[in-house]
Amino acid sequence: MSDQDTLLEVKDLKLHFPFRDGSFFNAQKGYIRAVDGVSFKVRKGETLGLVGESGCGKSTTVRAIAQLYKPTSGKVLFKGLDLVSASSKEMMRARKDMQMVFQDPYASLDPRMTAGDIIAEPLEIFNGRKITNYSKKEMVERVEYLMGKVGLSHFFRNRYPHEFSGGQRQRIGIARALALNPELILADEPVSALDVSIQAQILNLFKDLQEELGLTYLFIAHDLAVIQYISTRVAVMYLGIIVEVASSNDLYRKPLHPYTQALLSAAPIPDPEIERKRQRIILTGDVPSPDKERHECYFYDRCPKRMDRCKKGIPPLIEQSDGHQVACFLYE
């Protein structure tokens, strides 16, 4: 991958939340290592899927990239600009080209604003900062255009969020994200709160918009079928780190990391014959607490293929074949 193809690069990103002991003195007890050294690149025009079980740090990673949470350390390079150390003016300009679609379409829309006002809000904010220059008439035209683009009638622009279904609310959220013509969309589990039939419609909408507008997605999900359908490449996350990165076809055809193998074996296959014959990988134990600094493989406690070597260091993410990276000592 050439540097010219890279739109977003995350380097050793860490986000540690302090927690306290709950005593009278409320002394700090330690840190929750929600994101503990994540690195990856997102190419222009692709969809990088970030997958992993609940609590592994996917959403926290996306929010740290968007600077909704301030990272503890590391770099987030968007179009060459390090967002972690960027000034407020630089960050504001970067936000124009990087927008977010949130998980919950019920909580992410202001119930006191109409659909039209919600979609127009980014235009008004950036007009106020002198970054854009839309007239009132252009704003109305832009809102109506975006509503049509996401499959909503512009006659609904004066309705409030409670008058829409869940899928329609998520379409409003997508239209709001598109208002400023961004290059990168950070999609934080945008279909997990929707019915399955509606999920398919929203995923197809994402695909159509990408093809038409040349968008790039960082797409978060815990549903493996969703990630397989939408993603060009997939990064697998466990306990705050990336354990495997590969193209979607390679990852689902030949997973290398024991965690990825277990994750894929848990996904149901809609074919009774294959489902009966395939071998399930059952992981023992619970996910370790993220409050401890680790000096061994993060997956050691649950790994069915662990070796003595795994206790002596943290395996780096190394390339095994063209574009297929894995963090496991089995492939040294």
Task: Choose between 282 and 85: higher pLDDT.
Answer: 85
For the stretch 100-124, what's the b/e string if a residue is b when 16 or more beta carbons lie within 10 angstroms of its beta carbon?
Answer: bbbbbbeebbeeeebbbebbbebbe
pLDDT digits (tens, 9 = 90+) for 221-264: 988 889 999 999 999 999 999 999 999 999 999 999 999 999 99
pLDDT digits (tens, 9 = 90+) for 213-226: 999 999 999 888 89
Res 200: pLDDT: 93
Tokens of residue 153, six digits: 């009638």
Res 286: pLDDT: 82
Q: Residue 164: left (phi > 0), alpha (psi -120 to 50), or beta?
A: beta
What residue ranges in the chain does DSSP mark as E strands?
Answer: 6-20, 28-43, 47-51, 73-78, 81-82, 98-101, 184-188, 216-221, 233-238, 241-247, 318-321, 324-326
pLDDT digits (tens, 9 = 90+) for 56-106: 999 999 999 999 999 999 999 999 999 999 999 999 999 999 999 999 989
For the cut 90, the answer to whether the pLDDT of residue 115 exceeds it is yes
* pTM given for the model: 0.93
For the cut 70, the answer to whether the pLDDT of residue 3 exceeds it is no
Mean pLDDT for the chain overall: 92
Per-residue HEC secondary structure of 76-110 comes to EEECCEECCCCCHHHHHHHHHHEEEECCCCCCCCC
For the cut 90, the answer to whether the pLDDT of residue 158 exceeds it is yes
Res 25: pLDDT: 73
CB 235 within 8 A of CB 245: yes
| Range scoring the smallest mean pLDDT among 40-49, 134-143, 285-294 | 285-294
pLDDT digits (tens, 9 = 90+) for 176-233: 999 999 999 999 999 998 888 899 999 999 999 999 999 999 999 988 889 999 999 9
Res 207: pLDDT: 97
For the cut 70, the answer to whether the pLDDT of residue 275 exceeds it is no
